[in-house]
Structure 1
Amino acid sequence: MGSIKISAIKRLFAMSANECAFPECRSPIIESSGTVTGEIAHIKAANKNGPRYDASQTDDERNSFDNLILLCSRHHTIVDSEIDLYPADLIQKFKSEHAQKSVVGISPLTEFASKMLLDNYNQNVVIHSNSGQVVINSPGAIQAKTVNIKSQKVKAVYPIPEGAVSGVLGMNSYIEYLIGKYKDFQKQDIPKQSNYKYMAIYNAMKREFGSKWQLLPASSFELIVVFLQKKIDNSRVGRIRKKSGQKNYHSYSEHLERIGAL
């Protein structure tokens, strides 16, 4: 039996814009929290008992990029349950149209997101219609004609990519410091005249940079710092402090000295 290659998933994810390929669906494949909620789906089933199975395909063709699509778990269930409404040609059209609307982007997230998607898929493998015995993880193997493998994990969280800003101790610490300063200023805003709730900073950063900040490359550090410093300065407490000549935050070099990184 063939297997899905990580290169195919990287290509799928890069073309997905991190969104389900079902029309009008904007559900993310990877949540900003790092939780993998999207799924790898076969357009034509990987096994004989699956939806839209094509006996003329080889195992390699079944598991190739051309026969795979990324969907949210809801739409994956729908297209595989309502086969008459969602034939292979229509799902292939979904994939093509979604790719045309998306901007292909390779980022530090791509490799790790692809690995987690593939890990999730492999942990939920179902082997059907086997003519002999299936042996898994020998020695101490399980032998059976049909084996259902189901992961007990509720969610998967991918690790921080190499070269990400959060992987650099000083940068990670300073960004956390600025986020904490923003939250502190918002908490002090007793009349709550500001338009920002202090916990909204994470969503604001995601909208600005298109990703969870920890996953951004280290080269984005200065942009993140400028963004956060402006947020702090434009908060109600920040504006009051600036008018009175008080500093709203210390500089990056000062921060490094404080944490003993210099």
Structure 2
Amino acid sequence: MAVSDKSIKLLWSNAAGRCSFPGCNTRLSVEQAADTAPYTLGEMAHIKGKNPGSSRYDDKQKDDERDLYQNLILLCPNHHTEIDKPENEKKYFVEWLIEAKSSHEKWVISMLAVEKVLTIEELKNHIARLLADNHQAWIKYGPNSILALKNPNNELLYGLWTSERLSTIVPNNRAIAKLLIDYRMLFTQSQQSIVSKFLSHAKSYELWVNDDIPYQAVERFPVDFDALIRE
């Protein structure tokens, strides 16, 4: 059994495309784009070893559990190598890796969180920053980017765009959605429908990225939401 696309995408989006080893947090997508696809199996370490003889192998684990999201941790190449060295197995044991993964994912959430918002202007400023990051990812690596148009059907660029969706756009959309839900009362009654449009877009976009719905089912980004945040 190989790691499914769904497990890969969950791992990358929840880790925001960064190494989960404590204190590392290295961004893994763009730096590797020059010579390999940004998300590869080489970056996804098994918490419980996949094969007999590998580090932390558990013969009681079911075969169909070995490549699931729950048994994977996203790491940079250096830390992937370090945890899998036989001499380090007692240092980087199963429970240690599970805690490292959990702590990193909590860190991702905390990094996207903001202090208490008091005014609509503050809220819009926070959201505008996240939207700008998303737009930059689209401009640089999206299907209509200069790179994509100059290199059609390039698997490397497609991999880079996939990783940008997982490590930048999905986490940012989650952060925007949380802000909108937490501070929805700051918007006027007439603006509520626009807020709802973005929430529906963000939800459907993540479902598509995770292969739960077809692209045709994605609700398009509401341009009136962008105008609302900019006004």
Q: Rg larger in 1 or in 2? A: 1
Q: Of Structure 1 and Structure 2, which has the larger fraction of its residues in helix?
A: 2
